[in-house]
Amino acid sequence: MAKKILITGGAGFIGSNLADFFLEREHCVICIDNLITGSISNIAHLTNQDFRFINLDVTNYIYIDSEIDYILHFASPASPIDYLELPIQTLKVGSLGTHKALGLAKARGATFLLASTSEIYGDPLIHPQQENYWGNVNPVGPRGVYDEAKRFAEALTMAYHRYHSIDAKIARIFNTYGPRMRINDGRAIPTFISQALKNEDITVYGEGNQTRSFCYIDDLVAGIYQLLMSGINEPVNLGNPHEMTILQLAEKIIDLTNSKSEIVFRPLPEDDPKVRQPDISKAKKLLQWEPKVSLEEGLGKTIEYFEKKLFDQN
């Protein structure tokens, strides 16, 4: 039976890929986005489907004149560049926006899924990161606006679950990449690919020894769906546990793009996490989910997307 899905931040990278996923399964999708970091180009191909776009800032209010079965709250700036340029908006969408989205879920009796983040763990003191780790976050640092907004959003979501009996899910999303990322996103993969395709110097911060793990968007969307359909209400890590250094990632992208780029090193940003790797034991056990797309395959598809975007811009 077709369901009605509301996605806040639905014109963003992950949100628009989720819209594709649900529409392919013949559900109805309502997308809310104020286009601060989202883009109409991400959803332009959906206009002839059972899809509705509402240009709205969810920190003000959310009014939908129909029944809703599921609310997926993905509205938020989500890169270090965004935190510096949009600190107040980041805090507001994590707090006020989450409150408005939860209020709508309560009013409609909808299942609610919060897009949380591995940034919950801050610069972690345990490795890999499990869901029972409370984190090591600097609340007043430049990244604190995102970290604390998401930590508050998790607390509010669980309060609505406990007090109002909302069926709420929390996905702690680790680094995800793929088509529809912004070229000027500021995160490692889009930055490195753009620089490599233009044969520019690739900027690596610090010595490049900090580690990350990268999950392809199709794998993440599958994990989000599994969590949404589950009976689980506590946070669940979703990401790819394959860990590599940022320097290794830069070298891999140079190789895959046959680039003439050279790697240059810049000072490490404040509070930049030294390690990041999800423990996905819970997702494997309770959701029967784990990533399937290899880094080489995922990067290949992402590079192809960026080649087209860069060509279109020129």
pLDDT at 133: 97
For this structure, is 83 an active site residue? Answer: no
Confidence of residue 172 (pLDDT cuts 50, 70, 90): very high
Dihedral in degrees, nearest 10, Cα atoms 229, 230, 234, 239: -70
pLDDT at 151: 98
pLDDT at 314 over 60: no
83, 121, 146, 160: the catalytic one is 146
Name the H helices within the chain: 13-24, 80-85, 87-92, 98-108, 144-164, 188-197, 217-228, 246-257, 281-282, 295-313
For 54, the enclosing helix (H) or strand (E) is strand 51-55
Among 23-27, 59-63, 107-111, the range scoring the smallest mean pLDDT is 59-63
Q: Taking all residues of the chain, what is their mean pLDDT, rounded to a whole number?
A: 95
Which CATH number among 3.20.20.70, 3.30.70.360, 3.40.50.10490, 3.40.50.720 corresponds to the domain 4-179+215-241+277-291? Answer: 3.40.50.720
In angstroms, the Cα distances linking 165 to 103, 107, 205, 281 are: 12, 12, 45, 27
Per-residue pLDDT tens digits for 267-289: 988 878 889 999 999 999 999 99
Among 38-42, 63-67, 146-150, the range scoring the smallest mean pLDDT is 63-67
Confidence of residue 239 (pLDDT cuts 50, 70, 90): very high
pLDDT at 313 over 70: no
pLDDT at 48: 86
pLDDT at 302: 98
Give the mean pLDDT of 114-122.
96
pLDDT at 270: 81
Give the mean pLDDT of 215-230.
98
Per-residue pLDDT tens digits for 45-102: 998 899 999 999 999 999 898 999 999 999 999 998 998 899 999 999 999 999 999 9
Higher pLDDT, 56 or 185: 56
Give the mean pLDDT of 94-121.
97
β-bridge mates for residue 176, sequence order: 215
